[in-house]
Amino acid sequence: MKAKIMTLFIILLIITSSTTYASNVNKMPKKQGYNGIFNCGTTLKDALKINNAVKQKVSNLLKYTSWDYQKALILYKFVHNNIKYDSERTAIMVAKLQLGACNIASGAQYAYDSKSGVCFEYATLFAAMAKTAELKVKIDYNTYHMWNEFYDSYTNRWIFVDCTNGLFDENIKDYHPEPYNSIKI
């Protein structure tokens, strides 16, 4: 009985989450840098902080390449293959947002340490690792999702990366039609 009640509660949260999540995401800064609140009280600036272990991991992963595209592909594969999507986390965040007390750990370091997260963690971990690798990187977002782009200096173009959904160098408009917002990191 207790399990059924919990399941119903989670289903109710997920059903109502799109409105609550959308209203929270719509408060995100639009092209204003990365000091605004993004995820349960976490600023994007704080979410991008990583420790030396993560920086060392980037160095180890990329020690045999110098090409932007290959660096980004290696980082994408690492994030996509090592972070597990945590759908329960979304329900917990929505519940806490509705109570006005969302203060859970989130961001790049959380994703790396816990090996789990939602699109916010995937995007911030990729961005933090890409910055460590000296890649130009953006975080893009719309009402329901967050992803990245990196700049490939060889082809002189921004390339779409969605570590959450396993997409690399696809046509962004096929997956995330405009409007969306971008923040260069």
Alpha helices (H) in the chain, listed in sequence order:
2-25, 44-47, 52-61, 68-82, 87-99, 108-114, 119-132, 172-175
pLDDT of residue 108: 96
CA 75/CA 15 separation, integer angstroms? 33
Query: Hey, what amino acid is at 34?
Result: Y
For the chain (185 residues), the mean pLDDT of every run of 10, in chain order, is 40 38 41 52 88 98 97 98 90 71 82 95 97 97 91 96 95 80 90
pLDDT of residue 172: 81
Which residue is associated with the tokens 């160098």? 169
| CATH number of the domain that residue 149 is part of | 3.10.620
Instruction: Provide the domain count of the chain.
Output: 1
pLDDT of residue 6: 39
Q: How many CB atoms lie within 10 A of CB 15?
A: 9
pLDDT of residue 92: 77
Residue 170 lies in domain: 2-184
pLDDT of residue 24: 41
Contacts of 145 (CB under 8 A, 6+ apart): 119, 164, 176
Q: What is the pTM of this model?
A: 0.79
pLDDT of residue 16: 38
